[in-house]
Amino acid sequence: MDTHRNWYHNPLNLVVAFIVLMVLAAPHPIAAFTRSEAVHFQRSIIDYRSRLNPRYKKIKRPKTKYIIVHTAELGLKTTLRVVSRGKRFRNGRRTNGGHAHYVIARNGRTYRILDRKYEADHAGRSMWNGDTDLSAVSIGIELVGYHYAPITEAQYRSVGILIEILQGVYALDDRAVLTHSQVAYGLPNRWHPKNHRGRKRCAKNFNRTKARLGPTWRYDPDVRARRLVADAQLAAVYYSPKQYVAEAQEANVISKRNTAWVIAGEDFDSSTTVYKFPNGRVYTGDQIAAQVGWNRLPAKTVVLLNQEERVERLRDDGPVKTIADGVTAWSLAGRSYNHKTTIYFLPSGRIKTGSMIHDWDDLPVKTRLIVGYKGPFELRKDQSAYRIAGKGYKDPRTIYYLPSKQLVRGHKIKDFTQLQLGTLVFLPTAS
């Protein structure tokens, strides 16, 4: 007993105890990254500020209360152009850029788009805890990729370091880090009679733990205050008592659960949102009402966001697809983009499966791909096309990769006896 009494009467012990309690009670955890990691990261940031649209009006932000994480819904090249130069619409309208402070590529490379002291036009119609227009009080970070596809480990590392640096600069805790889908809200529309969450699905797949962040809020403060109506799907992602991890669960495919609004939010009827029907027909969002009807969208329709131009390249022209500027592997292959049954034919002549590719940002244009295939099977003297494919050797779904790097479908080959040895054959995995 005397030992305990002496301990409490020692002022130094009381100071130490107070410091320990303060650390344990602090909203922001002890640094997740070392100082050398942070310094190395800062030195590696690519300065892209010179590319900013000169028409963008720079306004100094009076205070910073939040860090907002986005998914770009685009590949790297187009993301950098859109956030710095602005977005183009088919009706001729343009924005002036300045849509993010930072962009993080899928390989972790980080680009500085706008000096962090200025406002970036990134959050749009937004609200959090009664604050509106969050662009005026927040930092915006874009992760290259899609809300229905996994974020890479390299991105999580970079965004984790960047967030920790920004938290130190602005004295922000982990609850100040939010995603665009958490803070965006929509006005009444055909699906919702009142102001509501769900305008964006942006960064719905952001896993805070992988970015070394603590939990988000336990509830939506604006829904609790009845300023907004909840979105059931987002509420399950962010505020479920089971601590549901927000990974990619729903694809960009129309179903009973996945309506156009659930997938595209306010962009459901935009000219830059493309609906690719199961029969191969392609429509933009602004065409659906007049030409199809929103209640007639067929199940398994694929929804693609931010398709500014070259919609014709998305039309179904058979099993062989081609990557082009603005038409990405995800646009063409959906969730199968990184599967071993998706085969990529690079312009160099190399052949890779989706599971072999890691740096999707650098996948070159004119790369061709086929989805749902097995192979290759090589034509040899003792192995004919018939022996490889059976009765399907002439089938339009059977793909022949010639030594000349041509991809030819089975029904297009007139004389199989003239096929060169070494030709590679790819067969569909299912009938």
In a domain, 21, yes or no: no
In a domain, 321, yes or no: no
For residue 288, give its domain range. Answer: 253-316
Residue 136 CB partners (closer than 8 Å, separation 6+): 61, 62, 119
In a domain, 52, yes or no: yes
**Number of domains comprising the chain:** 2
Helices 153-170 and 35-44, packing angle to 10 deg: 100
Average pLDDT over residues 313-317: 64
Res 18 pLDDT > 60: no
Q: pLDDT exceeding 90 applies to what percent of the chain?
A: 63
In a domain, 373, yes or no: no
Per-residue model confidence (pLDDT) at position 208: 95
Report how far Cα 224 is from the mean position of its chain's Cα atoms.
29
- pTM greater than 0.85: no
* Domain co-membership, 230 together with 262: no
Q: How far apart are CA 142 and CA 126, in angstroms?
A: 16
Average pLDDT over residues 22-38: 65
pLDDT band at 373 (very low <50, low <70, confident <90, very high): very high
Res 410 pLDDT > 90: yes
In a domain, 162, yes or no: yes
Average pLDDT over residues 43-49: 97
pLDDT tens digit string along 53-86?
999 999 999 999 999 999 998 888 889 999 999 9
In a domain, 297, yes or no: yes
Res 143 pLDDT > 70: yes
* Domain co-membership, 270 together with 139: no
Is 73 within 8 Å of 67 (Cβ atoms)? no
pLDDT tens digit string along 256-270?
888 898 888 888 998
* Domain co-membership, 176 together with 93: yes
What is the domain-level CATH number for residue 72? 3.40.80.10
In a domain, 430, yes or no: no
pLDDT tens digit string along 393-403?
999 999 999 99
**Inter-CA distances, 366 with 81, 314, 345, 350, Å:** 20, 14, 9, 13
